[in-house]
């Protein structure tokens, strides 16, 4: 299953089309935000907030560990979640639920060789995410 299929499956389980688009936009912003360091910054943030085992499993080539909405809040922090929720037009609780389902798959697909690569793979993944909003 490709990144597009994974995201479609997760988001297809509920919400309107515009909500899905808004959540995809929030995920894209989270992974491409230069101020927070993009994907590498996300990984470092989760590690520094005590969730290294979980995020490392998503980047690595083995099985992805699950994450709860509460752990998403721990990993990202309240302010970031409020901003993402506002941009997605959902509550902070809803965005944590979406992210707990979506982030493990997206990070896994963006790191197929078990490491964070710059360029092609990230750009390809971002292109797939952008395709969801069209």
Express each pLDDT in 61-116 by its tens digit.
Answer: 989 999 999 999 999 999 999 999 998 899 999 999 999 988 998 888 888 888 88
Helices 38-48 + 52-59 axis angle, to 10: 150
8 pLDDT higher than 60: no
Are 106 and 6 spatial neighbours (Cβ–Cβ below 8 Å)? yes
Q: Read off φ and ψ for residue 61, nearest 5 degrees.
A: -95, 0
The end-to-end CA distance of the chain, in Å, is 20
The predicted structure's pLDDT at residue 121: 46
Residue position matching structure tokens 């969801």 = 132
The reported pTM is 0.76
User: What six digits make up the tokens of 97?
Assistant: 């639920």
The CATH classification number of 3-132 equals 1.10.10.690
């Amino acid at each position: 299953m490709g990144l597009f299929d994974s995201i479609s499956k997760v988001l297809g389980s509920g919400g309107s089309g515009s909500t899905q688009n808004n959540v995809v936009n929030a995920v894209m912003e989270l992974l491409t935000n230069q101020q927070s360091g993009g994907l590498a910054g996300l990984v470092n943030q989760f590690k520094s907030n005590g969730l290294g085992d979980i995020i490392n499993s998503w980047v690595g080539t083995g099985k992805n560990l699950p994450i709860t909405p509460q752990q998403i809040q721990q990993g990202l922090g309240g302010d970031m979640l409020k901003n993402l929720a506002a941009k997605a037009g959902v509550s902070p609780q809803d965005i944590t639920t979406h992210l707990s389902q979506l982030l493990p798959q997206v990070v896994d697909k963006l790191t197929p060789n078990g490491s964070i690569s710059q360029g092609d793979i990230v750009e390809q993944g971002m292109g797939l995410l952008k395709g969801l909003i069209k």
